[in-house]
Chain A
Amino acid sequence: MDDSGRFVARHVATLPKSGIRDFFAIVSKMKDAVSLGIGEPDFVTPYHIREAAISCLEKGRTSYTDNRGTQQLRDEISRYVAQYYGPEYNPENEILVTIGVSEALDILLRAVLNPGDKVLYHEPCYVSYAPSVTLCHAVPLPIRTLSSDQFALDPAALRAAWQPGAKVLVLNFPTNPTGGTADRAKLQEIAKFAIEKDLLVVSDEIYSELTFDGDHVSIASLPGMRERTVFLHGFSKAFAMTGFRIGYACGPAAVIDGMLKVHQYGIMCASIISQEAAVEALRNGRDSMLHMRDKYRERRDFIVRRFNELGLPCHLPRGAFYAFPQVSGTGLDSMTFASKLLEQQKVAVVPGTAFGAAGAGFCRASFSTSYERIHEACERIGRFMDTLPKH
């Protein structure tokens, strides 16, 4: 009998498992399932980027790098962020290359949180935010975002959710899973509040290139924000490089230095092969990225139109590659909807509750897949809807 569970720390033992894992277990055993549950690009990494990784191996460049990342990559990140987001970061002490945004968020929280500190973040959100906070013995403070606001963070809701002891505000625009974005006016109000309450803002902008309507604005570019914002970004989504596991953090030197301590003891450095590929992505990847963005936009228009036709109200996400239809009108909660849909029609969508309580009544459907699959999935969802009693 395995009773090794007694060795597991209390705060880990009580951490809920990701709702996505249960779903994955079922789908992976099912033949002929059409999955709209994939949270990564369906494109293969553009070949010139893969070729840079091959060339790195050919040249025998297989060593550790500087803990912060290679000089070349930090220089390119500095240039890229200044050009497309605004703020200028010093490659010497304000940029850290990480194993994706996931690591960046984890080490950032570990570097800044004391036990009992509180962290504000908007929900529905990426699955790791609340657990990462809990693992730091800190307290997650979710702020509900609403379909009626297109899942943008309402500054009034932020103010209402604030509590004494709140130290960090995590933002993620465009948002996984809702595709919510925040315009300049909203961000200005949020920034004002962050300054008033002396919050450190963590801005996860991993989907920023995949903004379909209007310009993406980074909160780090607003007056007074650079010194209290850590900008997190990576290559997975825009350049279809998920398996390379490469991202970065830009921020004020003292915070980056704190992160560097956690990073150097825990990780050492990101893979040099991925770093060289990342340099190529930043130098020459823009055309491929824009091409992929156009494809996502076309598929978005299709899937959102179909969901609305099928009687699943769905707002038009302005960024990322997820539709977030409301399924509560069917009389089913999101978990039941997703389970029955999978069981009866073999279509996988992710129940909204996997992204926090605020996701109740919704499901996430990725449109990062072919037209053929999206079309087939929608036909099957239509057949599934026909079996449900009308409400």
Chain B
Amino acid sequence: MNSVLKLILEGESLDTAQIGKILGMGPEAVERELADLRRQGILLGWRPIINPSYEAERRVRAVIEIKIRPEGVGGFDGLAERISAFEQVESCYLMSGGYDLLVVVTADNLYKVAGFVHERLARIDGVQGTSTHFFLRAYKKDGFIVNDEGLRRDQPSVSP
């Protein structure tokens, strides 16, 4: 794996100058590597990881299981790409098992999610059925334990 990619995947927030110093390369070289990763479609972007309980006071998040009929224009890919294009859709995956697409959406409130399901998804030709589940509470997000108090509280800052 590319050394820059390996380092950024560790999840520490490092700027390009810091990454350069750690890897023993100039910041321009790091920028070049990052640009390459983008060009190759490996690095899609950067997002901070926000505590979901903070987010939950402002946004609701739901996961929608969608059954689709693949015949017609574009098959599975065509429908999945169409659904992915909605700005409410955070992620969209083709799944094995009892339904076909798993879609994560966020919206200001429950009614807006409901509206999205009724007025947008259900109207798409090829969508056979949906099942919507709301997120209630998060315990772990993107590798981070949400309630991480207590951890290391008693560790001495200097020890033998």
| A contacts, CB < 8 Å to B | 18, 20, 23-24, 27-28, 33, 35, 37-40, 44, 126-128, 176, 302, 305-306, 348, 350, 354, 370-372, 375, 378
Consensus secondary structure, chain B interface: loop
A33 to B158, CA, bound (A): 11
B59 to chain A, nearest CB (A): 29
Nearest chain-A residue to B156 (Cβ)? A24
24 contacts between A and B (CB under 8 A): A18-B160, A20-B159, A20-B160, A24-B156, A24-B157, A24-B158, A27-B157, A28-B156, A28-B157, A35-B157, A37-B158, A38-B155, A38-B158, A39-B159, A40-B159, A302-B21, A302-B22, A371-B10, A371-B22, A372-B13, A372-B14, A372-B18, A375-B18, A375-B22
- B159:A37 contact, CB within 8 angstroms: yes
- A375:B14 contact, CB within 8 angstroms: yes
| B contacts, CB < 8 Å to A | 7, 10, 12-14, 18, 21-22, 24, 151-152, 155-160
A341 to chain B, nearest CB (A): 13
A16 to chain B, nearest CB (A): 14
Q: Give chain A residues whose Cβ lies under 8 Å from the Cβ of B24.
A: 302, 305
User: How many interface contacts (CB-CB < 8 Å) are there between A and B?
Assistant: 61
B68 to chain A, nearest CB (A): 38
Nearest chain-B residue to A127 (Cβ)? B160
A258 to chain B, nearest CB (A): 26
- Which 8 A-B residue pairs are closest in the complex by CB-CB distance? A37-B158, A24-B158, A39-B159, A35-B157, A127-B160, A27-B157, A372-B12, A23-B158
B24 to chain A, nearest CB (A): 6
Contact pick for A371, options B14, B152, B158, CB 8 Å:
B14
Nearest chain-B residue to A30 (Cβ)? B157
Supplied contacts A128-B160, A370-B12, 6 more A-B pairs, CB within 8 Å: A33-B157, A37-B159, A302-B21, A372-B14, A375-B22, A378-B21
A348 to B21, CA, bound (A): 21
A44 to B145, CA, bound (A): 12
A354 to B159, CA, bound (A): 11
